[in-house]
């Protein structure tokens, strides 16, 4: 495949945008080569500026559960745009999408809309700190909760007590309130509670991790977090920016029957427009301004175009009784195909999957946390990525990302993908 025009567009972009991109992972730093510039997308496919057609497994990093340019969503945006694009005043739409989201997700009474997953998580920990009157939070190495300062904290080795900022610009003052634990390791969490008695406001966790590949919670992990939070009067925050409305109507709370105190959403809830949200029971949500003391705001929050797109998306998911089963079936089919061809080609690999989130790791050991995710062979991943791209299959340009399966994928698309994987890994 040729990427002449993409290369030119990237060179142009580099002159006026840092690194040529508005979000770092798009720059192909992990895999090398030139980023592909998209012209359009429909259903399961991307069409790039050079006229290549690619099967898309990123799907805007998750939200396109029903495929690109899903007609009801496009119609909702188009119709709404005629009526004005932003008011900074309340609209009925906001109540409608709030009512629907609350009816779909367990354990939430109220929801507030923001503009991104970052804002949702940032606001959720401020709320948790205000509600509990405590400063510290626990996060897990390898979990991503957006780019606000409190979350840009690197893993120390093992039971790291204090976080170390891993981006210049994040102060030690902020970092010291973020405690790091290891995913799927309850002992690392209870040790932090032990060492910081009555100081921890909340645990924030990706209840199915999607930012170190797809890493499912081991049996008892989420239950253990719930128990530790309840025992220590801390709040449990589920960051469902990837998993919400994807793994089940009610997200991971429904899938594994675990109650979170605050839930963060993003991506899906805007049908591809810039939306995030956080939600909780009344007791917690009533702590927010203007009725409570914790401040949180946004000129474009609840933006009518974004709400119209999100409402249409949630309605499509809510009205389709089979959607999550279809996604499960398609992804299970893909998983079986990947296992078959990689085994036949004698490739050393691990595949992780929960519902329609799946990742391939070039390592034989189970991938259960950030350390084991990092053990994967990155050179193999690069070859895999570029090989698939050349076959017309677009996966995330990083070994630490999950693939997102969309309902727009046909079984022919999946067979095409499995066959491409067979071809690409022949000489691994």
Q: How many residues does the structure list for the chain?
A: 428
Nearer to ligand PMP, 215 or 388 (CB): 215
Nearer to ligand PMP, 62 or 387 (CB): 62
- Mark residues 42-61: x for contact with ligand PMP by CB under 6 A, - for none: -------------------x
Q: Taking contact as CB under 6 A, which single stretch among the options 141-149, 247-255, 287-295, 392-400 is the one that binds ligand PMP?
A: 141-149
Provide the 8-state DSSP code for 288.
Answer: B
List the one residue out of 428, 343, 358, 344 whose CA is nearest residue 395. Answer: 358
> 284 — alpha (psi -120 to 50), left (phi > 0) or beta?
alpha
Helices (H), 82-219: 92-104, 117-132, 172-175, 186-195
Is 239 assigned a catalytic role?
yes
Tell which one of 145, 246, 249, 361 touches ligand PMP (CB under 6 A).
145
> 187 — alpha (psi -120 to 50), left (phi > 0) or beta?
alpha
Neighbours of 40 (CB within 10 A): 11
- Mark residues 261-300: x for contact with ligand PMP by CB under 6 A, - for none: -----x---------x------------------------
Q: Taking contact as CB under 6 A, which single stretch among the options 44-52, 76-84, 144-152, 372-380 is the one that binds ligand PMP?
A: 144-152
Verify binding: residue 232, ligand PMP, rule CB under 6 A.
no
Is 427 assigned a catalytic role?
no
Determine the longest span between alpha carbons in the chain, in angstroms: 63
Q: Taking contact as CB under 6 A, which single stretch among the options 5-13, 81-89, 205-213, 295-303 is the one that binds ligand PMP?
A: 205-213
List the one residue out of 278, 255, 256, 248 whose CA is nearest residue 265. Answer: 278
Provide the 8-state DSSP code for 368.
Answer: -
Closest residue to bound ligand PMP by CB = 117
List, in order, residues 6 or more apart from 419 with CB less than 8 Å away: 341
Nearer to ligand PMP, 267 or 361 (CB): 267
Six-digit token string for 214: 């797809």
Tell which one of 58, 93, 114, 121 touches ligand PMP (CB under 6 A).
121
Tell which one of 20, 35, 43, 117 touches ligand PMP (CB under 6 A).
117
How far apart (Å, rounded) are the C-alpha atoms in residues 152 and 145?
Answer: 9
Query: Which residues contact ligand PMP (rule: CB under 6 A)?
Result: 61, 116-118, 121, 144-146, 206, 210-211, 239, 241-242, 266, 276
């Amino acid at each position: 495949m040729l990427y002449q025009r993409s290369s030119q567009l990237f060179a142009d972009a580099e002159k006026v945008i840092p690194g040529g991109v508005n979000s770092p992972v798009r720059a192909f730093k992990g895999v090398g080569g030139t980023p592909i510039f998209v012209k359009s997308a429909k259903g399961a496919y991307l069409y790039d500026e050079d006229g290549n057609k690619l099967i898309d497994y990123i799907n805007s990093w998750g939200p396109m559960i029903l495929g690109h340019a899903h007609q009801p969503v496009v119609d909702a945006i188009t119709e709404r745009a005629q009526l004005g694009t932003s008011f900074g005043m309340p609209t009925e739409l906001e109540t409608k999408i709030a009512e629907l989201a609350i009816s779909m997700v367990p354990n939430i009474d109220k929801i507030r809309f923001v503009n991104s997953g970052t804002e949702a998580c940032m606001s959720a920990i401020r709320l948790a700190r205000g509600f509990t009157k405590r400063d510290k939070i626990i996060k897990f190495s390898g979990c991503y909760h957006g780019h606000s300062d409190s979350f840009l904290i690197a893993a120390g080795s093992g039971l790291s007590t204090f976080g170390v900022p891993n981006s210049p610009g994040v102060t030690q003052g902020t970092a010291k309130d973020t405690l790091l634990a290891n995913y799927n390791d309850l002992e690392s969490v209870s040790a932090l509670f032990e060492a910081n008695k009555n100081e921890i406001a909340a645990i924030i966790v990706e209840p199915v991790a999607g930012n170190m590949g797809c890493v499912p919670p081991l049996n008892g992990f989420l239950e253990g977090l719930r128990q530790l939070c309840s025992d220590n009067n801390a709040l449990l925050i589920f960051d469902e920016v990837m998993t919400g409305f994807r793994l089940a109507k009610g997200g991971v709370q429904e899938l594994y029957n675990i109650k979170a105190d605050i839930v963060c959403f993003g991506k899906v809830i805007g049908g591809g427009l810039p939306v995030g949200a956080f939600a909780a029971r009344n007791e917690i949500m009533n702590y927010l301004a203007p009725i409570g003391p914790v401040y949180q705001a946004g000129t474009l929050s609840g933006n009518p175009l974004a709400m119209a797109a999100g409402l249409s998306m949630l309605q499509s998911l809510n009205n389709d009784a089979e959607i999550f089963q279809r996604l499960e079936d398609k992804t299970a089919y893909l998983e079986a195909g990947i296992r078959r061809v990689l085994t036949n080609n004698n490739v050393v690999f691990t595949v992780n999957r929960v519902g329609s989130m799946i990742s391939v790791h070039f390592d034989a050991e189970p991938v259960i946390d950030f350390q084991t995710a990092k053990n994967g062979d990155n050179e193999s991943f690069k070859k895999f990525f570029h090989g698939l791209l050349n076959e017309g299959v677009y996966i995330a340009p990083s070994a630490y990302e999950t693939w997102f399966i969309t309902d727009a994928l046909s079984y022919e698309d999946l067979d095409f993908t499995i066959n491409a994987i067979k071809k690409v890994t022949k000489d691994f």
